[in-house]
Structure 1
Amino acid sequence: MAPATPRTTGDALRSTLRRHIRRAAGREANPLSRHSDVRRSRIAIALTLALVVALALAMLTALDVLRIDQRQARYEGQHRHRTIATTVEAAVPDAPGARTGTGGFHAQAVWQFPPATRGGGPVAVAAAAAAGTEVAVWVDDHGHPASAPLPATEVVTRAVLAGAGVMAVLSGAAFTVYLFGRRVIDRAASAAWEKEWGSVEPRWSGRPRHHPGLGDR
């Protein structure tokens, strides 16, 4: 059997959706179609619409986050500056829970930014860094320590994760409602089938119908 191609899979999905639409609208030419089948088709269409809306909202969220982060990245690119700092002491380990240093060691250092303005503070260094080691650091317009500008890869990643998160939450909620609705429909269909079978089976099998509560005569 040949594997299904994306085109054949898409055709099958479109055919299934059209069948559900006809059935939900009561236009399916199938004498065996039951009311429960119509309800199943309607809830399937509702799920499809919910997923389309979820996808649209996820894309809008991703684009919104992308636009905000791009604006932030442009601002930081204009107001964050890379300069060279010189350590004035040897490296020491970071204290537990300290925010200074990301490599496990830091040292006090000084730098000149803005020009002719002296700044200083702790900077992340290697374990063997001695006094006089030059380290590249980021500072703001006033020469205060700052984080690096938001990189383009992180901007895109954050937008994708935001969109994926919205899609996951909304589609998960849609599928939960769909499964609950299907369970309700299936239970109602089973109860209706048992009731109809209780009426038809005695005539079909020729056995007398049992009436609860009546004694034998």
Structure 2
Amino acid sequence: MSAASTTRRRSATRMTLWRHVRRAVGRDSNPLCRCLDRARSRLVLALVFAFAGALALASAVSLLVVHSERGAALQTARHRHLVTATIVGPALSDGAGTTAEATWVRPPSEPQRGPVDAPGDVRVGATVPVWVNDQGRLAAPVRSDDEIAADAASIGLMALAGLSLSVEALYTYRRHMLDRRAQNGWGTEWEQVEPLWSGRMHGRPGGGA
């Protein structure tokens, strides 16, 4: 890394957000401040606001997910019923869990029979609670608030990550364009200043007497 690049990075690091604000609105008292410097400060402020907006939008997405999934859970809860099943067969383990044949009834539905989740040491005649739908068939339980919150947080974090990457990409692109303008402008400015600085304009190389 060149010394000039290191100097620019240290200078940018020392710049406070308040100074960027002053420079962006043209209140910087530094006489060497250029329009390009103000553009860079405006870019920094845009980055801050963009990240804040991304955080707000990701939070809104999480809240919408919570609201939507809780509404769906309440609707599902109206058609879920907890009943007691009686084990009528041995427990069978397939590596993913243990099931056992059981029977249950949820009036006014007919008695039902099928494999249900059960402890590994369950015995015939034992009872286990199971969730069923209005027709008495096995159904998934209603999602808990913790599960809904975990889903909402995951979706919100993914949204924040995607938005942050987009903001960072746009910032990097715009910063690159400003750096190119600075490099091109430096050449033009040097062509105007160099003759005065070197003394060539007055026919005195080096500016000496």
Measure, in 2, the Cα distance between the counterparts of 1:87 and 1:201: 95
Q: Deviations over 1:132-162 (max 9, x none)?
A: 3322211112211111111111122222222
| Aligned: 1:168 with 2:154 | no
Percent identity reads: 40
Measure, in 2, the Cα distance between the counterparts of 1:29 and 1:206: 30
| 2:174 aligns with one of 143, 166, 181 | 181
Task: Tell me if the contact between 1:72 and 1:150 (Cα under 8 Å) persists in the aligned partners.
Answer: no
Measure, in 2, the Cα distance between the counterparts of 1:70 and 1:117: 31
Measure, in 2, the Cα distance between the counterparts of 1:207 and 1:147: 87
**Which residue does 2:78 correspond to in 1?**
78
Q: How far off its partner does 1:33 sit?
A: 0.7
Q: Size of the alignment, in residue pairs? A: 187
CA change 1:127–1:207 in 2 (3 A) is farther
Task: Tell me if the contact between 2:101 and 2:115 (Cα under 8 Å) persists in the aligned partners.
Answer: yes
* Backbone CA RMSD of aligned residues: 2.7
Measure, in 2, the Cα distance between the counterparts of 1:187 and 1:116: 76
AA at the equivalent of 1:165:
M
Q: What TM-score do you get using the length of structure 2 for normalisation?
A: 0.76
**Which residue does 1:7 correspond to in 2?**
none
Q: How far off its partner does 1:192 sit?
A: 2.2
Q: How far off its partner does 1:16 sit?
A: 3.8
Write out aligned runs for 1:125-136 (5 A).
125-136=118-129
| 2:135 aligns with one of 134, 142, 164 | 142
Unaligned stretches of 5+ in structure 2? 1-14, 202-209
AA at the equivalent of 1:26:
G
Q: Secondary structure at the match of 2:83?
A: strand
**Which residue does 2:91 correspond to in 1?**
91
Q: Deviations over 1:154-185 (max 9, x none)?
A: 12222222222222211221111112211221
**Which residue does 2:113 correspond to in 1?**
120
| Aligned: 1:106 with 2:99 | yes
AA at the equivalent of 1:129:
V
Task: Tell me if the contact between 2:109 and 2:136 (Cα under 8 Å) persists in the aligned partners.
Answer: no
Q: How far off its partner does 1:40 sit?
A: 0.7
**Which residue does 2:147 correspond to in 1?**
154
Q: What TM-score do you get using the length of structure 1 for normalisation?
A: 0.73
Q: Deviations over 1:66-106 (max 9, x none)?
A: 111211222233321222212222122339xxxxxx52x32
Write out aligned runs for 1:39-50 (5 A).
39-50=39-50
| Aligned: 1:66 with 2:46 | no
Q: Is the helix fraction higher in 1 or 2?
A: 2
Unaligned stretches of 5+ in structure 1? 1-14, 96-101, 209-217
Q: How far off its partner does 1:115 sit?
A: 5.3
State the structure with bigger RCO (CA 8 A, min sep 6), 1 or 2. 1
| 1:197 aligns with one of 190, 196, 203 | 190
Runs of 4+ in 1 over 4 A off after TM superposition: 205-208
**Which residue does 1:53 correspond to in 2?**
53
